[in-house]
Structure 1
Amino acid sequence: MPLKLKFTLIVLSISAIAACTQKSVIRDQKENLKSSETIQELMLSLIAPTSDGIWDSANRSGIVEQQPQTNEEWAAVRQQAVTLLDAAERLSEGGRRVAVKDSKFEIPGIKKSPEEIQQLIDAKPEIYFRYAQQLQATAEETLAAIDAKNATALLEIGGRVDDTCEQCHKTFWYPNQFESKQ
């Protein structure tokens, strides 16, 4: 084999290895960035606004004329449902912290610290995971209702999204809210 051909093959091999290594590093950085989001960040930036947007689109005082009508309105609601599904999938990944260290919740009704909530989740990860999976399943149902342009189903599923969120919150965020004050 001529020397020039050997040299070319060596250069190509090194380039291929370097490219694979570079892609692996970039992928690892993206995965680490995604997993560093806290539950609180996902809730505030993605889950609450998108679930509210979906609910509001189907629950505008029960007036059908104000529910999504045009392709553009359905597309906007669909984008919110896709975002909700993505956030629910992230919650299902596990290993996510409740909040950044030493943060506080300024949400009415939440008296537990993020550390206390983290302990509750760590003690019952299977229950937390089940709620995350339920949210994911209802987000998928939401997408199906939107694709069928079925505002009635969207309203019903929106209620189940809300129920799933509320059950998780009652279990982990404010489990003792109904305790008597002594």
Structure 2
Amino acid sequence: MNVVSAQQAPQPRASTRPSGSRPVATVQDLMLAMVDPSSDVVFEAVSTTISIRGQETKTPKNDHEWAVVRNNALTLVEAGNLLMMPGRRIASPASMAAADALAEESTSVAEKASAIELTPDQIAKLVASDRATWIARAQDRATWIARAQELVAAATRALNATEKKDAEALLDSGDAIDAACEHCHLKYWYPKNKK
């Protein structure tokens, strides 16, 4: 009789100590301070303009310009990681005031937006990060994480393109970043605007 014995590796125990990290910025702060300005740099780094003067193509021209775009792509990657951190609030009075101060929209556009956009409280309910709500709303939290991971993947493509100094790949990554942002916004910011 042959006897085979197998032993499983011990399962790691969940840490009961806090990780030491504590979110300070809200999601709205991350959008205002990191995602919006960094995505603008990536989007504007490569473009083609056709006018009566002909066709002009804009790409980073030197190491400095590539480094600027690289740093902004890297900021987008890390912003995506920060969006996945549990316990992050959606907005605060300070972040909402900052958003209002930075808004370039007219009153009529803002009124139209309010008809389709969710409030920070409504978004928070979808992304709730307290354990009891996670269990009840795991699907939405999983979707939130998937959307943030989509941003990380798209921004990583931009980062890789800058490191190779590949303008075409950078342009393509901009489309992927835009799609990642839109997928998240259609779920969490303006779901009433689905086309």
Q: Where on the TM-score scale, by shorter chain, does this alignment land: which range?
A: 0.7 to 0.9
Q: For the Cα contact (< 8 Å) 1:58–1:68, is it kept in 2?
A: yes
5+ unaligned residues in a row in structure 1: which ranges?
1-26
Counting aligned pairs with the same residue, the percent is 32
1:46 corresponds in structure 2 to 34
TM-score norm. by structure 2 comes to 0.68
Return closer, same or farther for 1:68/1:116 CA change in 2, 3 Å cut-off: same
2:150 corresponds in structure 1 to 134
For the pair 1:160 / 2:176, whether they are aligned, the reply is yes
Of stretches 39-48 and 137-146 in structure 1, the one that deviates more from structure 2 is 137-146
Q: For the Cα contact (< 8 Å) 1:85–1:136, is it kept in 2?
A: yes
Return closer, same or farther for 1:38/1:60 CA change in 2, 3 Å cut-off: farther
**Which residue identity lines up with residue 67 of structure 1 in the other structure?**
T
How many residues align structurally?
Answer: 149
For the pair 1:37 / 2:30, whether they are aligned, the reply is no
5+ unaligned residues in a row in structure 2: which ranges?
1-18, 104-109, 129-136
- What do the CA deviations read for 1:78-105 (whole angstroms, capped 9, x no partner)? 1111111121111122321110169577
Q: For the Cα contact (< 8 Å) 2:26–2:92, is it kept in 1?
A: yes
**Which residue identity lines up with residue 46 of structure 1 in the other structure?**
M
Instruction: Give the structure with higher Rg (CA).
Output: 1
Q: 1:81 aligns with which of 73, 78, 83?
A: 73
For the pair 1:120 / 2:126, whether they are aligned, the reply is yes
Structure having the larger proportion of residues in helix: 1
Please give the alpha-carbon distance, in whole angstroms, between the structure 1 residues aligned to 2:118 and 2:57: 42
Q: What do you get for the CA RMSD once the two structures are aligned?
A: 2.4
Structure 2 counterpart SS, 1:61 = strand
1:151 corresponds in structure 2 to 167
